[in-house]
Amino acid sequence: MFPIIVIIILSLDQFSKFIVSKSLLLNSPVPVIKGVFYLTLVHNRGAAFGVLKDQVPLFILAALIAVILIYFNLRKNKHRQPFVYNLSLGLILAGAFGNLIDRLLYGHVVDFLDFRIWPVFNIADSAISIGAVILGWTICFRKSVK
């Protein structure tokens, strides 16, 4: 199940970024729900919320380390951990890998989901965030999850 999750999330992320990059003009919002949700193509050269701008080698190294650690953790413990734990790591891995691909290919991350009350983000960012919440929940309530 784990590889399927990673492949689906990674495919959705990369496909959506491809379509948006070919369809939208940079920094030109397109309203989907006026005043609430827009598609806005942004090239994020930093980390979350654009912090540490133009530190691409640092982000590539951090993502590679995260991908390797998650992969080996899952490989070693896949039958000893609850499904939700593996799901959380799968989401984080897919998201990290999706943004890593962008940094390696373009030197920036393609963001496009714009709710106006939050910085522009993408599917990979969502997968990382959801995975982190699930992971935190799993760790905090480990006994009730098993």
Q: Three-class SS of residue 31?
A: strand
Q: Which of 37, 1, 22, 11 is nearest to 120 (CA)?
A: 37
As a whole number of angstroms, the distance between CA 65 and CA 93 comes to 11
Structure-block tokens of residue 65: 């380390």
Active site residues: 111, 125
Instruction: Give the span between the Cα atoms of 22 and 38, in whole angstroms.
Output: 16
